[in-house]
Chain A
């Protein structure tokens, strides 16, 4: 089962809360080695984002992220896991689960 792992910052987090978090390089090499992490990367903040809409067949661009969210998404990974429990285990060992928030979204599988 594939899961999109959205890696987000938590603007409300108190400094020091992520103390003792694991190292991201260790996480990446372990999950790559196990064939769990299929791909992933950091992304530039919302100030570098462009939003695209087509309305009345016209392409409309907006400078900035979709909706008035703060800079939430910092990166993403695609995981291949047996089930949600394994995906939760993997996500909970990512440093940004300690210093931010991680959202797991299962891929849409056609029935």
Chain B
């Protein structure tokens, strides 16, 4: 019998793999009540954490958790719901096991299928993505808020509104037929990309999120061979991932792109990513993911930061700003301009972003400004910016990196 610490480890493993399945089952079971579905799934895992270490792990852990979640839902609905008819209906059903997830769709992966199911086009793109990350990927509202660069409160409200609309407009949770998949592709692409990014930070325990995102991106690209953006996104992930080993040094410290040991980059992954990107670009429908992959390819194939084709990267960011304008894109373009033309040319661009206030809470805006100011010889102003960045940096590793820079100046 599995008990104690190993039971806890097992629960963590099941959480990573089974969360989305249990939530999806519960959403159906509760008749589309997303909040209740998530709460009951959470309660089931909490119950497992309480009981398994002592009583041992049940033979079918996932079924046990689903049943626990279902019982919890029935309890909650009995107590809370005034809709007596609905309760009677559920009570009458009383299945020992909830119906297994079945579908006859063409999507060859259950998790991907659930993502397509959640990304309903009657919800705006941000809402689709946030809701899917919350409900299926099990990301917290705080983590999703960070990914969207908005305050947690704002994100909480966004998710709340989306759930409200689902309930009020009766948006069904149903696997879409093949001909409707392209409508939902933008949402699914963003979900996968943010999932990838969540695992690309400096927290080692999250790297499995990136691996899972790449796996799903491969399934998606094979499923939709005529969608260049799906291939562009896979290429982008592979090109980023090739650089993963050199992003953190032996002491666990973050290493910036310019200082990374390029011999540690994975040449096979770079070659694969570049080849996928090239095939996608031949379709002549360059979207944001293909353009970002092209930028990543410029970096990945350059022998050093100095020998990088910065004018080409500037041009790509300009193209990206046209198809997907955002303050982040402008900031990245400014960095490329500083490398192509010097910090003096880039500083006004960053100042304009800073004055607009759009990225006030984003530490990289201030860190970038600090870097440009220092290269222009304005060290006092640079230090002030670094201090601001330090208070905004989301992780310990990022704070240490900024502190080292402050010490060096």
A residues with a Cβ closer than 8 A to B are: 1, 82-85, 88, 104, 106, 108-109
Contact = CB atoms under 8 A, between A and B. Distances in A.
Contact of B172 (A84, A104, A106): A84
B12 interface: no
B170 A1 contact: yes
A45 to B, nearest CB: 29
A85 B172 contact: yes
Contacts of B170: 1, 82-84, 106
A84 B169 contact: yes
A82 B173 CA distance: 12
Interface of B: 122, 168-172, 174
Contacts of A1: 170
Contacts of A106: 168-170
13 contacts: A83-B171, A83-B172, A84-B122, A84-B171, A84-B172, A85-B172, A85-B174, A88-B122, A106-B168, A106-B169, A106-B170, A108-B168, A109-B168
A88 B170 CA distance: 12
Nearest to A105: B169
Contacts of B168: 106, 108-109
A85 B117 CA distance: 12
Nearest to A1: B170
A90 to B, nearest CB: 14
Contacts of B169: 84, 104, 106
A1 B168 CA distance: 9
A92 B171 CA distance: 16
Contacts of A84: 122, 169-172
Contacts of B122: 84, 88
B22 to A, nearest CB: 23
Nearest to B171: A84
A110 to B, nearest CB: 10
* Most chain A Cβ neighbours within 10 Å, of B122, B168, B172: B168
A82 B171 CA distance: 10
B25 to A, nearest CB: 19
A109 B174 CA distance: 22
Most buried by A among B169, B172, B174: B169
A108 to B, nearest CB: 8
Contacts of B171: 83-85
A82 B170 CA distance: 8
A104 B122 CA distance: 11
Nearest to B121: A88
A108 B122 CA distance: 18
Nearest to B82: A111
Contacts of A85: 171-172, 174
Contacts of B172: 82-85
Contacts of A88: 122
Nearest to A108: B168
Of residues B169, B170, B171, B174, which shows the largest number of chain A Cβ atoms within 10 Å of its Cβ?
B170
Contacts of A82: 170, 172
A93 to B, nearest CB: 15
A84 B174 CA distance: 11
B220 to A, nearest CB: 23
Contacts of A83: 170-172
Nearest to B176: A85
A108 B167 CA distance: 11
A83 to B, nearest CB: 4
B324 to A, nearest CB: 24
Contacts of A109: 168
A106 B167 CA distance: 10
B92 to A, nearest CB: 21
A1 B409 CA distance: 65
A63 to B, nearest CB: 34
Nearest to B180: A85
